[in-house]
Structure 1
Amino acid sequence: MSKTIFRLGAWTLALAMAGCTLAPRYERPALPVAAQYPAGDSVPARDAVELGWREMFTDARLQALIAAALENNRDLRTAVLNAERAQALYRVQRAGQLPQIDAQGSLTRGRTPADLSATGAAVTGSEYQVGLGITAFELDLFGRVRSLKDAALAEYLATAEARDAARIALIAEVAKAWLADLALREQMDLARKTLEARSEALTLARQRYEAGASSALDLKLVETLVESARVAVATLTRRSAQAGNALSLVVGAPVARGEDASLLSDQQFVADLPAGLPSQLLAQRPDLRAAELRLQSANASIGAARAAFFPRISLTAGIGSASPELSELFEAGSRSWSFVPQITLPIFDAGRNRANLRVSQVDRDLAVAGYERSIQAAFREVADALAARGSFEEQVEAQERLRQGQADRLQLAEQRYKAGIASYLDVLDAQRELFDAEQDLVEARQQRLLNLVDLYRALGGGLRERGTGA
């Protein structure tokens, strides 16, 4: 009899594993964007996905911050835990394709009163049982369990891709926070130097006013510039402290901010990143791969909803030994077995199955719309970064020339003032224009570097630590 049960179990398992699936055939939606970027190019350089973030960002302190963020950032840690949870859920669904075998043991004692006993006397008896059993194992003839497993697998893979997308976004956010901190500290340093210079000029202006060599208007103008510089210092000090807090938050640990901060002009990021074609983003960006996997999961869920319209067959079976005495439990003749097949055929459910099928179909359509929206957003991010790349280079160069022109103008104004052929108002105006040009130059350099970070992230760079390994 044991051979019969074994053959029956093997036959049952074969039927379950050979079950078909009613999920519709998956087809990737067409790209809802143009075939090429508006400002695309063919720079002969390495793809962003092959460029390690340590090669992209060469500053040792920035590299240390990125490494610390990858270790400590809570958002990334949450993404990793979500991936682990999705993996465990997939294992749960996958286990449903195989029967669960349990060891069972029981003791039953009972008393039959005399008026119900066949012997006319009260009977007290015991029954011992031990064995192996399969409880309610579903024969997956129509692929319901398989579709649920496929949907769970796609969800797990999508969550893993989302984890990689979070890693890329985190690296970019650290770089941006670092650049913001550098820019504000550089601007604050310029404001402090300007405040010192204007304070010295105010001392001289007061001496000239007290000596009758200048008017009260000139003195008030100098005082106005001093207060303006003091306002700039206070504002930039506050913003710099907030930038440091933001950097600590994204890193996930306190960040020591020394006085020897690098200048934006010292930062050298890789600029020759080839854009490729929009279709390549599907393989380069994990967030797009995650969106497509969620679409595949929704597609598989339709198969499970369709299978609910068909009969569901489940099996419960067991083999073991039973005896009224514990000492006789494993003796000859004590073997027992059971085989209980059960079939459930939906007849009337008030439209529940049809509604569930419609829900799964709408979920699939929503996933298609989300996937296409993700592609369009990715296309715009790359296109915007490409469009800005050349213009930022020109802007920085023009701003450097403007700053130098304002410096020359201030020098000439001071010479003319000392020669008595120009008023002090011209000097003050030149000082103000030079300060604004210096601040704008720092901001232009920051925007140029931020654009490179955005392009690197938009093209899917940041998963690799080095160019030759993950």
Structure 2
Amino acid sequence: MFHHKNTYRLSIVTLSMLLAGCISLDPHYQRPTAPVPKTWPVQGKNAAAKTVLTDWQHVLTDQRLNKVVERALVSNRDLQQSIADIEAARALYGEQNASLFPTVDANLTHTRSRTTSDGLSSSSEANGAVSSFELDLFGRNHSLARAAKETWLASEATAQNTRITLVSETSTAWITLAADKSNLALGQQTMTSAADSLRITQLQLKEGTAAAGDVSEAMTTYQQARASVASYQTLVAQDTNALNLLVGETVPQSLLPGTIESLSPQAIQTVPAGVSSSVLLRRPDVIEAEHNLKSENADIGAARANFFPTISLTASAGVGSSSLSSLFSHGADIWSFAPSVSLPLFTGGSNLAQLHYAEAEKKGLIAAYEKAIQSAFEDVANALARRNTLDEQMDAQVQAVASAQRSYDIARRSYQVGSGDYLTVLTDQRTLWSTQLDLVSLQQTDFENRITLWESIGGGLQ
């Protein structure tokens, strides 16, 4: 400890000013070129569109579904975990960023003592001290802080991706429930019709106008329909449970869908597709991959800085006096400055290995970033390809159901008046049931495709 009056005082503020001169050894970051075409292979019928619907509220127009998704975004446990991960990553960034600044402590001490020779004596001291602190001359700490920040931002992108996935999965589960309710209703209708046919054939058998085989066939159809009803009752219950799990709470009955036929054709809007593939750069999973790449880029800078000397210092400044009353008015200046320099001479190849590792990790993350874009492009291209044929397939299926219904009605009337055989009735009834189930499945596919297209573009572009 040195005492010096009316001379240059090294203040705490002066020490912190030394930090401004650090350099960065991070490699120059340049975003990799997207390895996908600029346009989609199939643009869809709305290829002239220049905007994309922004958020899920504009896509999910059914108010019941809208409210269900709102509840999910509040109560879903996976999303809550993602938000907690953001908070943890932000805290780690704050901890790493704190290393860029010195820790300053202030203390005041006063000592009184009595000896036989000198009698009563006292001394007081007040000082501010900087703990052992590394001057970031070559940007190592700044690089580590940047890496932590990019990890934090990547966690935010992960949470956003979880949010979009949650909207998609909740909407899909809601639509699946509607589709299975339709399948259940079809099974119940078929079972009622089969029970009626069974009753008629049993009466005709007694009157001698029907064969025993007709009764057996009618019984088979009835029991098949009955089994189908039981199966779809199970599926409806399981669909409801799955929806409750996604939402994170029990969904009120008033917010559950009816049959899929009861939904408006625009319950889920179709996202316009005529936009450049550059929108994929806004997808959360692509953003996350780029933040991971930037984080590793900063780690390379930190690894490079390990080859250069590190300068650490401990310093303090204050005043001292023989009595507490004169400490701040007549006290003497007290300061200390203890720098230390560490130069890496031999590390057994550790620094070089760390640098090579960081560089190899960066190459892998570049590939991961490019793969994320390619996967995103494939998602959108597949959704557009399906969208492009759905309308025609839907129209054909509607016509098929209408035709099957007419055939069944004609065959049933003919059999009732005695001019037709029951095998034709049975065949046409099963054909009608099958085409109706296919139509429900196609309606479900149509709604799910709209959800998938919205999700694959990245949840909308503002």
TM (normalized to structure 1)?
A: 0.89
Query: Residue in 1 aligned with 2:313?
Result: 315
Give yes or no for contact 2:319–2:334 (8 Å, CA) kept in 1. yes
Distance 2:184 2:233 in 1: 7
Distance 1:45 1:349 in 2: 60
Distance 2:371 2:406 in 1: 51
Distance 1:330 1:430 in 2: 105
> Are the structure 2 counterparts of residues 352 and 421 from structure 1 closer, same or farther at C-alpha, using a change threshold of 3 Å?
same
> Are the structure 2 counterparts of residues 203 and 128 from structure 1 closer, same or farther at C-alpha, using a change threshold of 3 Å?
farther
> Are the structure 2 counterparts of residues 150 and 363 from structure 1 closer, same or farther at C-alpha, using a change threshold of 3 Å?
same
> Are the structure 2 counterparts of residues 31 and 3 from structure 1 closer, same or farther at C-alpha, using a change threshold of 3 Å?
farther
Any idea what the Cα deviations from partners look like across 1:70-91, whole Å, max 9, x if unmatched? 1111111222222222222222
Query: Residue in 2 aligned with 1:424?
Result: 422
Query: Residue in 1 aligned with 2:258?
Result: 261
Q: Kindly provide the amino acid, as one letter, of the partner of residue 134 in structure 1.
A: V
Q: What number of residue pairs does the alignment pair up?
A: 454
Give yes or no for contact 2:157–2:287 (8 Å, CA) kept in 1. yes
Query: Residue in 1 aligned with 2:166?
Result: 170
Any idea what the Cα deviations from partners look like across 1:225-247, whole Å, max 9, x if unmatched? 01110111111111111111111
Which segment drifts farther, 200-209 or 290-299? 200-209
Give yes or no for contact 2:128–2:317 (8 Å, CA) kept in 1. yes
Instruction: Please tell me whether residue 298 in structure 1 is matched to residue 296 in structure 2.
Output: yes
> Are the structure 2 counterparts of residues 209 and 123 from structure 1 closer, same or farther at C-alpha, using a change threshold of 3 Å?
farther
Query: Residue in 2 aligned with 1:45?
Result: 49
1:362 deviates by: 1.9
Q: Kindly provide the amino acid, as one letter, of the partner of residue 176 in structure 1.
A: T
Give yes or no for contact 1:134–1:316 (8 Å, CA) kept in 2. yes
Query: Residue in 2 aligned with 1:116?
Result: none
The structure 1 residue matched to 2:222, chosen from 217, 221, 226, is 226
Instruction: Please tell me whether residue 92 in structure 1 is matched to residue 92 in structure 2.
Output: no
1:429 deviates by: 1.1
Distance 2:403 2:284 in 1: 47
1:403 deviates by: 0.5
- 2:8 aligns to what SS in structure 1? helix
Q: Kindly provide the amino acid, as one letter, of the partner of residue 215 in structure 1.
A: A
Instruction: Please tell me whether residue 61 in structure 1 is matched to residue 67 in structure 2.
Output: no
Q: Percent identity?
A: 35
> Are the structure 2 counterparts of residues 84 and 272 from structure 1 closer, same or farther at C-alpha, using a change threshold of 3 Å?
closer
Give yes or no for contact 1:275–1:459 (8 Å, CA) kept in 2. no
1:145 deviates by: 0.9
Instruction: Please tell me whether residue 214 in structure 1 is matched to residue 218 in structure 2.
Output: no
Query: Residue in 2 aligned with 1:21?
Result: 24
- 2:209 aligns to what SS in structure 1? coil
Any idea what the Cα deviations from partners look like across 1:142-201, whole Å, max 9, x if unmatched? 010111111122122222222222221111111111110100111111111211221122
Give yes or no for contact 1:198–1:226 (8 Å, CA) kept in 2. yes
1:340 deviates by: 0.9
Instruction: Please tell me whether residue 192 in structure 1 is matched to residue 192 in structure 2.
Output: no
Distance 1:127 1:237 in 2: 88
The structure 2 residue matched to 1:250, chosen from 246, 249, 270, is 246
Distance 1:2 1:280 in 2: 65
Any idea what the Cα deviations from partners look like across 1:309-339, whole Å, max 9, x if unmatched? 1101112111224467666655634542211
1:277 deviates by: 2.0
Give yes or no for contact 1:167–1:463 (8 Å, CA) kept in 2. no
Which segment drifts farther, 16-25 or 328-337? 328-337
CA RMSD of the aligned region, Å?
2.7
Query: Residue in 1 aligned with 2:200?
Result: 204
Distance 2:62 2:217 in 1: 43
Query: Residue in 2 aligned with 1:161?
Result: 157
Give yes or no for contact 2:174–2:257 (8 Å, CA) kept in 1. no
> Are the structure 2 counterparts of residues 43 and 133 from structure 1 closer, same or farther at C-alpha, using a change threshold of 3 Å?
same
Distance 1:2 1:398 in 2: 97
Q: Kindly provide the amino acid, as one letter, of the partner of residue 341 in structure 1.
A: P
1:449 deviates by: 1.0
Give yes or no for contact 2:191–2:225 (8 Å, CA) kept in 1. yes
Give yes or no for contact 1:275–1:382 (8 Å, CA) kept in 2. no
Q: Kindly provide the amino acid, as one letter, of the partner of residue 273 in structure 2.
A: P
1:441 deviates by: 0.5
1:280 deviates by: 2.6
Query: Residue in 2 aligned with 1:468?
Result: none
Instruction: Please tell me whether residue 102 in structure 1 is matched to residue 105 in structure 2.
Output: yes
Query: Residue in 1 aligned with 2:379?
Result: 381
Query: Residue in 2 aligned with 1:4?
Result: 8
Which runs of no fewer than 5 residues in structure 2 stay unpaired? Answer: none
Q: Kindly provide the amino acid, as one letter, of the partner of residue 102 in structure 2.
A: P
> Are the structure 2 counterparts of residues 410 and 448 from structure 1 closer, same or farther at C-alpha, using a change threshold of 3 Å?
same
Which segment drifts farther, 256-265 or 386-395? 256-265
Distance 2:173 2:220 in 1: 33
Instruction: Please tell me whether residue 71 in structure 1 is matched to residue 70 in structure 2.
Output: no
Give yes or no for contact 1:168–1:463 (8 Å, CA) kept in 2. no
Give yes or no for contact 1:168–1:462 (8 Å, CA) kept in 2. no
Distance 1:225 1:292 in 2: 58
Distance 2:6 2:409 in 1: 104
Which segment drifts farther, 315-324 or 121-130? 121-130
Which runs of no fewer than 5 residues in structure 1 stay unpaired? Answer: 113-118, 465-470
Query: Residue in 2 aligned with 1:115?
Result: none
Distance 2:197 2:28 in 1: 78
Distance 1:197 1:68 in 2: 40
Which segment drifts farther, 241-250 or 354-363? 354-363
Any idea what the Cα deviations from partners look like across 1:15-59, whole Å, max 9, x if unmatched? 3222111111111112222232211256343633x4332221111
Q: Kindly provide the amino acid, as one letter, of the partner of residue 236 in structure 1.
A: Y
> Are the structure 2 counterparts of residues 79 and 408 from structure 1 closer, same or farther at C-alpha, using a change threshold of 3 Å?
same
Distance 1:64 1:281 in 2: 28
TM (normalized to structure 2)?
A: 0.90
Give yes or no for contact 1:59–1:267 (8 Å, CA) kept in 2. no
Give yes or no for contact 1:185–1:240 (8 Å, CA) kept in 2. yes
